[in-house]
Amino acid sequence: MKRKCFLYNLLLVGVASCAFTTSFAQNNEAKIEALLKKMTLEEKVNMIHGVSSFNSGGVARLGIPELVTSDGPHGVRIEHGRDWTPDKNVFDSGTYLPTGNTLAATWNPQLGFAYGKVLGSEAKYRGKDVILGPGINIIRTPLNGRNFEYMSEDPYLIAKMVVGYVQGVQSEGISACVKHYMANNQETKRTTVNVLMSERALREIYLPGFKAAVVEGKVNTIMGAYNKFRGQYCTHNDYLVNKILKGEWGFKGIMMSDWGAVHNTLEAINNGTDLEMGTDIGTPPFPYNKFYLADTVVRLVKSGKVAETLINDKVRRILRIMYQTNMIEGKRTPGYYGTKNHQMVAQAVAEEGIVLLKNEQRLLPLSRDVQSIAVIGENAFRKNALGGGSSQVKPTYEITPLVGLQQLVGNKTNITYSRGFKIERNAKADPKLIQEAAAAAAKAEVAIVVGGWVHGYNYSNWDDNAYDAEGIDKPDMKMPFGQDELIEAVVKANPNTIVVLMGAGGIEMGRWVNKTKSIVQAWYPGMDGGTALARLLFGEVNPSGKLPMSLPKKLEDCPAHKLGDFPGDSIALNYKEDIFVGYRYYDTYKIAPEFAFGHGLSYTTFEYSALTATKKGTAVTVTLNIRNAGKMAGAEVVQLYVKEQAPSVPRPEKELKGFQKIQLQPGESKKVTLTLPADAFQYFDEKANKFVLHPGKFQLLVGSSSKDIRLSTSIVL
């Protein structure tokens, strides 16, 4: 009886809260209409464009505040004055979370929620209404300078990770801003390239992450991309904004421009731009009334060329988000900034996101009894938080790999540091530095080379951006600063060498990958990245990260470069690889990457058994057992790929359609259940212009990576 009563009450609460939400929303709509009626045209227009570096206009007379936005996707950016001059003597050092790649590499949606919640709380503390993240553009080329901010090459993984992140941010009562909508997959000529792709590539690869953020994540705002799509700028693109975003997906929030992405007043009015931010007219302080959606709009409406209802819809959307986030009425709960709890989330994401790529002869985990370690490479001591461009964060602190190791074992282990290479423009291999590093390695029990990419040279100005940074793409996949020579020399001097790669992946390893026992992909792991890395290397934490993108052997293997276009131009940047992005290409065309999508080792081993697949209506339920066959607790990401046996159109060798991360004690077994909805088997039929199921046999492949398939079965649909 008790249980029934409890469930009944739960049901009542559920119905009540749903009713409350509906009435709350209806109530808001009535208030919005009432406000609109009071507003003059000039007051409405003042709300749909920027009035400072990061704010859009309010209406003080009516108690409507300015909408305050701030970068970025992995931490609240430094405080900019109203005219882009960074404020001095303000308290703007907070939590520097690991970047998007690292979060995606955790394959842990719950962690995505925690990550978003930290970001939302810190933004709220800093007085922001909108945090300008997450960035989720598909990783189409390893050269893209902003890959580090983004998540993956796979739309399903992005969709699963972005929802938690957005809901985490918005659970703090402020707004997330999913970006950049869409196909901003490179920095080269980002404000002018005209992206062309098939409808199928659009629907199967490039839209699903945004659709999940809007439809499942209920994201409050979205940012248009700089580039064009099929001839029209994304920010005022009738097809992308009116037809898909606001039409098909029913988006009721704010579609804002990227900073300087609006180029045409009438297009912006008619094609769904709700808010114009950052248009560059002259130098700060900008004449904001000269923006495209400013005085010109007042004139157009007054002369009858533009219907005021079009402006009302934009203002309605902004007011809707203002009401929803207690900007006009109600109160926000307090935000927290730079707290220990937030730092613990940052560290947890790094510990679950750093990927163990290779580990031979059990070199890792290192024993606490190790007597001496030669730490080599300027990246071991490099701080990254303020780099990368608009996603920069001023961290409360940043623990580098060297400091992380010193703090963990420095009291017992002799740790030496050699620079190994110089992070300087055009720096080549420095024989003296290499010789010193090799000598240090030869004298130590273990050598750890920390190399990879950097955000550029010095972070004070954008002209110094390089490699992993906004506004620039990498020139190629070759390691800069003579790191290849360094690694070869160190591995030769000491076979017990571990190579740790910082940065967004996409680096050639061919000259040393087969000679190196252990390799770790560490991304930009946030303020406690060094702590997390040290704990992983010494086995305090068992690695569980999995690659969210393939790591190709060389650029020529990469479909965007092999098939083109890259970098394209303002006439056409044609995505000729179509849907065959990342592992969809490598597996279908049998080109082995260096390390595969979904790959990541553990210090223990997992056994897969008892795979079953049963149809339930149009869905398919897959079950299997996973056992931790080793001596160390660990987490496995069980991945489920689908492959159509005899497709009617070319389809990828496999497509990720399910995954689950599970923690297992040594010897422990767990049953995993994954449900595939009908759309997991569909493809986008361009003739029918919709997703369809081609009846027939489908293989279900379950494994520890896209390459390491452990079990398979098939089902007929």
Query: With respect to ligand GLC, which residue has the nearer C-beta, 72 or 335?
Result: 72
Q: Amino acid identity, residue 295?
A: D
Q: Which of 71, 92, 258, 430 is catalytic?
A: 258
Element (H, E) at 447: strand 446-452
| C-beta of 82 vs 627, nearer to ligand GLC | 82
| Residue 87 annotated as catalytic | no
β pairing state of 446-452 and 619-628: unpaired
For ligand GLC, the closer of residues 69 and 347 by Cβ is 69
Cβ-based nearer residue to ligand GLC, 264 or 390: 390
Nearer to ligand GLC, 148 or 259 (CB): 259
| Cβ closest to ligand GLC, residue 388 vs residue 703 | 388
Half-sphere exposure of residue 228: CA atoms within 13 angstroms, side-chain side? 18
User: Distance between alpha carbon 227 and the CA centroid of its chain, in Å?
Assistant: 19
The distance of closest approach from Cβ of residue 518 to ligand GLC in the complex, given in angstroms and rounded to an integer, is 35
Q: How far, in Å, are 233, 355, 550, 674, 711 from residue 706 at the CA level? A: 36, 15, 9, 17, 12
User: How far is 395 from 296, CA to CA, in rounded Å?
Assistant: 41
Q: Which residue in the set 259, 523, 524, 698 belongs to the binding site for ligand GLC (CB under 6 A)?
A: 259
Residue 345: what are its φ and ψ, rounded to 5°? -65, -45
Question: What is the rounded CA–CA span in Å between residue 263 and residue 226?
Answer: 10
Q: How far is the CB of 267 from ligand GLC (least distance, A)?
A: 20
**C-alpha triplet 53, 217, 470: angle, nearest 5°:** 40
654 binds ligand GLC (CB under 6 A): no
Q: Dig out the tokens for 690 from the structure.
A: 């919709």
DSSP annotation string for 536-604:
HHTTSS------SS-B-SSGGGSHHHHT--SS--SS-EE-TTTT--THHHHHHTT---SB-TT----SS
What is the SS3 assignment for 35?
Answer: helix
List phi, psi (to 5°) of 55: -115, 150
Cβ nearer to ligand GLC, comparing 179 with 263: 179
Q: Quote the least distance from Cβ 104 to ligand GLC, whole Å.
A: 17
C-alpha to C-alpha distance for 276 and 56, rounded to whole angstroms:
8
Alpha-carbon distance of 717 to 615, in angstroms, equals 8
SS3 track for 40-87: CHHHHHHHCEECCCCEECCEHHHCECCEEEECCCCCCCCCECCCCCEC
Which residue among 122, 154, 258, 508 contacts ligand GLC (CB under 6 A)? 258
Quickly tell me which residue has 């970068």 as its tokens: 71
At what angle are helices 431-443 and 483-493 packed, to 10 degrees?
30
Beta-bridge mates of residue 388: none
Work out how close the CB of 560 gets to ligand GLC at its nearest, in angstroms, rounded to a whole number: 20
> Based on CB atoms, which residue is closest to ligand GLC, 258 or 351?
258
The yes or no reply on residue 337 touching ligand GLC (CB under 6 A) is: no
Q: CB neighbours (10 Å) of residue 228?
A: 23
Instruction: Find the shortest distance in angstroms from Cβ 465 to ligand GLC.
Output: 12
Closest distance between ligand GLC and the C-beta of residue 258, in Å? 5
* Minimal distance, residue 230 CB to ligand GLC, in Å: 21
Residue closer to ligand GLC by CB (options 74, 517) is 74
Nearer to ligand GLC, 233 or 683 (CB): 233
Residues 339-378, one symbol each (x = binds ligand GLC by CB under 6 A, - = not), give ----------------------------------------
- Between 259 and 453, name the residue whose CB sits nearer to ligand GLC: 259
- What's the min distance (Å) between Cβ of 54 and ligand GLC? 7
- Binding-site size for ligand GLC (CB under 6 A) equals 6
For 665, the token pair is 């004690």
Binding mask 128-157 for ligand GLC (x = CB under 6 A): ----x-------------------------
Does residue 390 belong to the site contacting ligand GLC (CB under 6 A)?
Answer: yes
Nearest-CA neighbor of 175 among 186, 165, 184? 165
Q: Provide the 10 A C-beta neighbour count for residue 341.
A: 13
**Closest separation in Å from C-beta 76 to ligand GLC:** 12
Cα–Cα distance for residue pair 371/445, rounded to 1 Å: 7
User: What minimum distance in Å lies between the beta carbon of 77 and ligand GLC?
Assistant: 8
Over the window 41 to 80, marking each residue x when it contacts ligand GLC by CB under 6 A and - when it does not, the resulting string is: ------------------------------x---------
Per-residue H/E/C for 603-651: CCCEEEEEEEEEEECCEEEEEEEEEECCCCCEEEEEEEEEEECCCCCCC
Cβ burial, residue 7 (10 Å; 0-12/13-18/19+): exposed
Nearest distance in Å: CB 471, ligand GLC: 8
Local structure of 321: helix, strand or coil: helix
E strand intervals along 348-399: 355-359, 372-376
Task: Using alpha carbons, select from 549, 541, 490, 559 the residue that is nearest to residue 523.
Answer: 549
Residue 334 CB contacts under 8 Å (≥ 6 apart), including other chains? 124, 125
Which residue reads 């937030």 in tokens? 342
Selected from 179, 246, 546, 584, the binder of ligand GLC by CB under 6 A is 179
For the bound state, the minimum distance from the C-beta of residue 94 to ligand GLC, rounded and expressed in Å, comes to 17
For ligand GLC, the closer of residues 69 and 106 by Cβ is 69
CB 382 within 8 A of CB 62: no
Which residues lie near ligand GLC (CB under 6 A)? 71, 132, 179, 258-259, 390
Catalytically active residues are 258
